[in-house]
C-alpha cells in the first residue's frame, strides 16, 4: 500500500522538508564565510571571549547556564556539618559505636555487644572528643551487659533462659535508642550503666 501524495510545502516522512518548498529567510542562519545573523557580535580580531573584566563583579548577572560554581557548603559539597558534630565522619563513628553495640549483642545473643563501641573508641576516640564521648558511653554500657549476658548464657543453657532473653533485649533496645539520639547529635546517657572506662 502506498501513501497518498502530499500537498506542496509539507514535509515527507519524519518531517523532512519538501524540496519544492521555499527556504527559510536568510537572516535566521549564517553559513561559513557569510555575514552573521542579527544579534550576534563576534569578538574583534585579536580578542577572545570572555572579555576582560568578565564575569561582572558589582551585582552583574552570571553568564547564561550558570557558569559560577555553587557556594561552598552547598549541594554537592557535603553541606553543613550535622548538629552536634564537627563533620560527617564524627557522626558516622558515633553511630557505629551505638548501633554496633546493638548489632554485636544481636549477633552473639549478648556477650559481644561491646565490640562495636570498642572499634569506634580505638579507631577515632583519640582524634575526636565527640566520638570518644559516644564510644565511652556505649562501651561502658555494653561491657556491663555483655558480662551479665555471658554469665547468664554460661549458666543458663537450660535453667535461666528467660533472663538471658531479657539481657539480650536490654542491650539491643538501649543501643538503638542511643544510636537514634546520636543521629541528632546528643550523647545518650545509658541507664543501668557503669563507668569501667574513663
Q: pTM for this one? A: 0.54
115 inside domain: yes
23 inside domain: no
pLDDT digits (tens, 9 = 90+) for 112-161: 889 999 999 999 988 999 999 999 999 999 899 888 888 877 776 656 66
**Mean pLDDT to the nearest integer, 35-46:** 58
User: Cα–chain-centroid distance for residue 151?
Assistant: 41
Query: Burial, 124: exposed, middle or buried (Cβ in 10 Å; 0-12, 13-18, 19+)?
Result: buried
22 or 9: whose pLDDT is higher? 22
123 inside domain: yes
108 inside domain: yes
pLDDT, residue 48, reads 58
30 inside domain: no
CA angle, corner 72, sides to 70 and 74, nearest 5?
65
Cell readout for 58 is 558589582
pLDDT digits (tens, 9 = 90+) for 59-95: 556 555 555 555 544 444 467 778 888 888 899 999 9
Distance (Å, rounded) from C-alpha 191 to C-alpha 198? 17
pLDDT over 70 percentage in the chain: 57
Highest average pLDDT, of 60-64, 170-174, 190-194, comes from 170-174
136 inside domain: yes
User: Cα–chain-centroid distance for residue 95?
Assistant: 15
**Mean pLDDT to the nearest integer, 44-57:** 59
pLDDT, residue 76, reads 46
177 inside domain: yes
Cα dist from 80 to 71, 72, 76, 96, 180, whole Å: 12, 9, 11, 21, 20
Give me the domain span that covers residue 160: 88-183
149 inside domain: yes
83 or 183: whose pLDDT is higher? 183
Average pLDDT, the chain: 74
Count of structural domains within the chain: 1
pLDDT, residue 180, reads 92
Amino acid at each position: 500500500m502506498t501513501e497518498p501524495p502530499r500537498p506542496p510545502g509539507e514535509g515527507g516522512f519524519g518531517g523532512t522538508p519538501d524540496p519544492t518548498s521555499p527556504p527559510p529567510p536568510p537572516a535566521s542562519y549564517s553559513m561559513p564565510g557569510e555575514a552573521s545573523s542579527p544579534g550576534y557580535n563576534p569578538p574583534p580580531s585579536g580578542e577572545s571571549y570572555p572579555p576582560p573584566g568578565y564575569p561582572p563583579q558589582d551585582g552583574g548577572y552570571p553568564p547564561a547556564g550558570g557558569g559560577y560554581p555553587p557556594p561552598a557548603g552547598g549541594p554537592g559539597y557535603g553541606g553543613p556539618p550535622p548538629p552536634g558534630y564537627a563533620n560527617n565522619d564524627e557522626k558516622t563513628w558515633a553511630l557505629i559505636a551505638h548501633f554496633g553495640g546493638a548489632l554485636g549483642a544481636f549477633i552473639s545473643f549478648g556477650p559481644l555487644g561491646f565490640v562495636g563501641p570498642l572499634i569506634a573508641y580505638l579507631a577515632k576516640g583519640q582524634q575526636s572528643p565527640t566520638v570518644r564521648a559516644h564510644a565511652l558511653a556505649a562501651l561502658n554500657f555494653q561491657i556491663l551487659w555483655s558480662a551479665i549476658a555471658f554469665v547468664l548464657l554460661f549458666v543458663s543453657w537450660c535453667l535461666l533462659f528467660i533472663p538471658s532473653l531479657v539481657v539480650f533485649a536490654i542491650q539491643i533496645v538501649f543501643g538503638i535508642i542511643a544510636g537514634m539520639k546520636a543521629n541528632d547529635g546528643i550523647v545518650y546517657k545509658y541507664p543501668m550503666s557503669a563507668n569501667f572506662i574513663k
